[in-house]
Amino acid sequence: MAAIPIIVKHQGTKYDVEVDPESTGEIFKFQIFSLTGVEPERQKILIKGGQLKNDTPMSKFGFKPGQSIMMLGTPGTAANEVLSRPKEKIKFVEDMTEAEAARQVGAIPAGLANLGNTCYLNSTLQTLRAIPELQKALKKYEPQTTGATGVVPQLDLTRQLRDLYKYMSATQQAYIPHGFLASLRTAFPQFAERARNGHGFAQQDAEEAWSQIVTQLRQTLRVKNTPESADASFIDKYMSGEFTSELECDEPAAKEGGESSVTSKETFLKLNCHIDANTNHLRDGIAKGLSEKLEKKSEVLDRDAVYTKTSKISRLPKYLTVHFVRFFWKRETQKKAKIMRKVTFPHELDLVEFCDDKLKSMLVPVRDKVREVKKDEEDIERARKRRKRNAAGEDIADVPGGKGNKKDDKKASAKKAGTSADGDVEMTETYKTDAEIDAERDAALLAAKKELHALINPELADDDGANQSGLYELRGVVTHQGASADSGHYTAYVKKSAQVDSKTGKRKEEDGKWWWFNDDKVSDVTSDKIDALAGGGESHSALILLYCAIPLPSAEGTIE
């Protein structure tokens, strides 16, 4: 069958194209691509009120010589790029040093060798390594002289942690943490306890190791907001929160006698999740930990009385540690027994309800706007995915932008007059391209992110080590397998960070996967593995959770 000459109009230009009736829409699109530079997937060719699909035979339309059709769409950025020689010489993995290979995108991070019941320490170190600000601060750390601290530099725990992370970042092999372990056992002799059977060292509690390391860092590791500002403790800035607590006597006689409640402020380095027969979710355990009974002498009653201490959070840190209180001392066995109960925990944690009124008033507007923006992002992404599916041949009638949305509702019904090649007046309609629709939605989303930034309270904005929305995302989990703290096995899960695009310098989207650190063995797992760590038996269950404040946009609406 002979080819039929037709005219394709695009952005004010007319192109003469010969249509082979035996070909398909896909082949026709490549013909248009060779003339206009608009990629086939970005073309919207309108024929008889519909959009040309790839698998549609061109004979279906019964084209007549000289007939005009319209094509919408613009070339993608890739079409405008000019091929050029790479600025940097390409280096293959086989030619890289061990350190260079370890820094490549997707490289498996280094594990830690088990030196005999040291899995509790390995899992703790791997999870703390998930804090980028900690690694940055450690790189700048310089130990003081022996005379100033009384500690030999080689046994300085903070220095050993600095060197440990430095060596780990330069290899993909399992690293042996001899220096750090020796420093830890010198600073805290409890970790040098020998096993009861006389063979090697005893197993220890990962939570105790975590607490002691964090306490030591709090004393030694300092940071500055600006070169002119006074230095502050890294832990106080990024990992410590504040309680506002009220202590009140339970007995009415004390209040009638004139005894009033006492309000105080205190710092916390972790939130405890207390577990009993009614604890099913992390929220239940945290709520229990914020209200406690204690006995002390009442000056009014002149005797011991029961008091209730109620705490509200008045500062949330950027990095929040949550401890599942699963171990308790059991007299019968003279061991720390484990509470096996299943307690679920979320990947996104909202702590606004546990804050005092002042902090809550600062966080609620930001939190609500964050959720609104997140919903808009999800809606936009869903619409884009639908359009991709529709481009593959599915029904597009009900998809925004699928057949093109009319630019103005009032003008949509009015047809735009034009003059064809033979002088006849033809009627056409103006549609928005997918690119135009995406641009409008992206602009609206950017405006919403700028509004979000404007909602951040100035007091919180000045405290870059604090959470400014009340929302957290889960970044690390220390797990325990077994029936007691003195036995069993510890491992760690750390969420993979988004990779940085080498061209734009911006972070890509995370793939949702996690690294599982089982001493020297490192593998990647999907997020459903994390959901299975709620407990309920002797299998791996979460003991420590590390949450990070969700990132918020800057004044320009961008998120680093």
The C-alpha atoms of residue 335 and residue 329 are separated, in whole angstroms, by 6
Which among 199, 453, 489, 548 is annotated as catalytic?
489
3-state secondary structure of 462: coil
DSSP 153: G
Structure tokens at 187: 């600073």
Show the beta-strand stretches assigned E in 299-360: 303-315, 319-325, 327-330, 335-338, 348-350
Tokens of 400: 């925004």
Active site residue 119: yes
Asked if residues 238 and 465 have their Cβ atoms less than 8 Å apart, the reply is: yes
Residue 366: what residue type?
A: V
The residue written with tokens 């601290």 in the block is 149
Judge contact between 185 and 192, C-beta under 8 A: yes
Cβ neighbors of 217 (< 8 A, separation 6 or more) are: 134, 157, 158, 161, 234, 235
Q: Which residues are CB-contacts of 349 (< 8 A; sequence separation ≥ 6)?
A: 282, 320, 471, 472, 473, 474, 547
Element (H, E) at 262: strand 262-268
Q: What angle do CA 226, 230, 235 make, to 5 degrees?
A: 90
- C-alpha separations of 105 from 111, 203, 493, 515 in Å: 17, 35, 19, 14
Helix, strand or coil for residue 413? coil
The answer to whether the CB of 475 falls within 8 A of the CB of 494 is yes
Residue pair 325/337 in contact by the 8 Å Cβ criterion: no
Annotated catalytic residue within 119, 273, 355, 548: 119
d(CA 412, CA 392): 27
Q: Are strands 348-350 and 471-481 parallel, antiparallel or unpaired?
A: antiparallel
* Contacts with 391 (C-beta within 8 Å, 6 or more apart), sequence order: 41, 54
What CA–CA distance (Å, rounded) separates 271 from 321? 6
The first and second tokens of residue 370, run together, are 């964050």
End-to-end CA distance of the chain: 58
Separation between Cα atoms, residue 46 and residue 278, nearest integer Å: 63
Q: Is 489 a catalytic residue?
A: yes
Q: CB of 217 within 8 A of CB of 183?
A: no
Q: Are strands 489-495 and 291-298 parallel, antiparallel or unpaired?
A: unpaired
Show which residues are catalytic: 119, 489
